[in-house]
Amino acid sequence: MKEILLCKCGELVLKGLNRHKFEDRLKKTLYWRLKKIGEFDIHACQSTVYVEPRSEGEDMAAALAACSRIFGIVGVARAVVCEKNIEDIKQKAGDYLKDALAAVRTYKVETRRADKRFPLTSPEISREVGGYLSDRYPHLQAQMEEPQLTVKVEVREEYAYVSAGVTAGAGGLPTGTSGKGMLLLSGGIDSPVAGWMMAKRGMELAGVHFFSYPYTSMEARQKVLDLAEVLTHWAGRMTVTVVPFTHIQTEIRDKCREDYFTLIMRRMMMRLAQRTAEKQDCQCLITGESLAQVASQTVQALNVTNAVCQMPVLRPVIGMDKEEIVSVARRIGTMDISILPYEDCCTVFTPKHPQTKPALDKAEEEERKLDVEALIDEALAGVEIITIG
C-alpha cells in the first residue's frame, strides 16, 4: 500500500495575495529537513502540503516526526492512498489500520469530502466505512464522543486518503518569513524558549553567546551549542557566534561600581550582539528576559539596557512566569540540557546588592571609566562562528 503524509497548514492559509510566498518557503523547509531522511516529492493544494515518498522503503515514522516540528504546519496525518471509489476506501481502511483497530475497543469515522463531485456525501462515506469496519472487526464499538481511535477519511482532487487521526504540528509561520533575529543564547532555561517562540512566528535564528573562560568552563560552552542543536530541530540551521567576554568582565569588575556591574555587563552584551547581528543581516535582537525575574530585568533596568540599542529588542517571554517558561522548555526538549550544572558568564562576579532601579546617567558615568570601543573591538576580533544543523 502506498503511504503519504498530509501536512495541514496553519495560519498561512489566511494570508492574501502573498500566500504563495509562505507556501513556497514551507515547501523549501520541508525539502531540506526531509533530505536527511529520504527522497520525497512535495506539493501543496487546498491548504494541505502533500509529502509523498519516492519509494516504499522510506522511513515514514521519521518523516512524520520531522514534519511535526516544522513551523507552519498544525497537524500531520500519515495516510494510505486510495482510489476514489468507496470499495477501495473501505478495503484500504480495514487493511491499513488493522493493528490500530485491533488495539482499541471504541472508534468513529470522520470524513472530509473536499471533492464535491464524489457521489457520496461525507456522512454517507462515514456510514459505509464504519459499517465495513464493524463487520470486519466485531470487537469494535462505534462511539461518537471521545472514542479511542478516530478514523479519518479525506476525499481530495486525485485520490482519497485514510489515516488514524492527526499528529499535532508545531503551528506558527514558516521559518524565514518574518526576517532574521539574533538570539542572545545563554545556558539557561529562558533564552532557548525565547528563540523557539520567535522561530514559531516565522523568524530565522542566529545565536550569540558570551564566553568567559576560565571563569566559565568548556562544558558550559558545549551546553550552549547543544541547546542550539535542539533549536535547529525546530528552526533549521543556525550559526552561533561565541564572543570572548572575560576581559570585558574583569575590566568592569576592576573599574566600575559593584551595584552597576550587571547592568554595564548587559549593556556591553547588547552592543556586541547588535554589531554581530548587523554583520549577519539580522533585523532585531532576541533575549530571554522575564519582567522582574532578576534585578537586571526590572523596567528601569531594561530601559538602561535598551539605551545602547539601535535595533528592536524582542523579549517574547517578558510576561511569562518561570513555571510557564519551564513548561515550554520541557515541550521543546531544551530543559534537560538547560539544568546541567555549568554556569554561564552572567553568574560571574555577581554583585551582592545589584541596582533594581538604576539611573541611566549613573550607568553612563560608570561606563566612562572603561574604553568601551576598544573592548568591543577586541572581543569582536576574537569571535568564533559555529554552524549548527
Nearest to 49 by CA among 28, 18, 32, 80: 28
Backbone phi and psi for residue 251, each to the nearest 5 degrees, phi listed first: -65, -45
Q: What is the C-alpha separation between 117 and 109, in angstroms, rounded?
A: 21
Q: In whole numbers, what is the pLDDT of the chain averaged over residues?
A: 94
Q: What is the C-alpha separation between 235 and 66, in angstroms, rounded?
A: 11
CB atoms within 10 A of CB 24: 13
Q: Which residue has the cell 515550554?
A: 328
Give the pLDDT confidence of 311-360 residue by residue, as tens digits. Answer: 999 999 999 999 999 999 999 999 999 999 877 766 667 777 888 899 99
Give the pLDDT confidence of 125-163 residue by residue, as tens digits. Answer: 999 999 999 999 999 999 999 999 999 999 998 999 999
Q: What is the C-alpha separation between 321 and 293, in angstroms, rounded?
A: 8
State the DSSP string of 310-346: SS-EE-TTTT--HHHHHHHHHHHT-HHHHTSS---GG
**Cβ-count burial 184-221 (b if 16+ within 10 Å, e if not):** bbbbbbbbbbbbbbbbbbbbbbbbbbbbbeebbeeebb
Ranges of each domain in the chain: 3-168, 180-388
Question: Would you say how long the chain is, in residues?
Answer: 389
Backbone phi and psi for residue 358, each to the nearest 5 degrees, phi listed first: -75, 155
User: Contact 360/304 with Cβ under 8 angstroms?
Assistant: yes
Label residue 4 by pLDDT band (50, 70, 90): very high
Question: Residue 283, exposed/middle/buried by CB under 10 A (0-12, 13-18, 19+)?
Answer: middle
Mean pLDDT confidence for 14-41: 91
Domain 3-168 falls under CATH 3.30.2130.30: yes
Mean pLDDT confidence for 37-47: 91
Lowest average pLDDT, out of 73-82, 234-243, 315-324, 344-353, goes to 344-353
Superfamily classification of domain 180-388: HUPs (3.40.50.620)
